[in-house]
Amino acid sequence: MKAGGNSQFQTVGLIGRQASGGVVDSLTAVLDCLQRHGVSGLVEDRTAQLGPFQKGTPAGGLATAPRAALGERCDLIVVVGGDGSLLGVARDLAHTRTPVLGINRGGLGFLADIAPKRIPEQLGAVLAGEYRVEDHFLLAASVRREGRELMRSPALNDVVVHPGGMARMMEFSLAVNGDFVYDQRSDGLIVASPTGSTAYALSAGGPIMHPALDAIVIVPMYPHTLTSRPLVVRGDSSIDVTLGLVDHAQVSCDSQVNFELQSGDQIRIEKYAAPLRLVYTYGRSFYESCRRKLDWATRLGGWK
CB-based contacts of 10, cutoff 8 Å, min separation 6: 3, 39, 40, 75
Using CB atoms within 10 Å of the CB of residue 254, give its burial: 0 to 12 exposed, 13 to 18 middle, 19+ buried: buried
The Cα 41–Cα 53 span in angstroms is 11
Express each pLDDT in 92-120 by its tens digit.
999 999 999 999 987 777 898 799 999 99
**Which of 32, 75, 83, 113 is labelled catalytic?**
83
CA distances 54 to 49, 223, 282, Å, are 7, 52, 35
Q: Is 83 in the active site?
A: yes
Q: What is the pTM of this model?
A: 0.91
pLDDT tens for each residue of 116-166:
999 999 999 999 999 999 999 999 999 999 999 999 999 999 999 999 877
Q: What is the pLDDT of residues 164-216, one digit of tens each?
A: 877 789 999 999 999 999 999 999 999 999 999 999 999 999 999 999 999 99
CA–CA separation, 219 vs 202, rounded Å? Answer: 9
Give 239-269 pLDDT, tens digit per residue. 999 999 998 999 999 999 999 999 999 999 9
Long-range contacts of 56-59 (CB under 8 A, 24+ apart): 58/31, 59/1, 59/28, 59/31
| Whether the Cβ atoms of residue 135 and residue 100 lie closer than 8 Å to each other | no
Domains of the chain from N-terminus onward: 11-136+275-300 (3.40.50.10330), 139-271 (2.60.200.30)
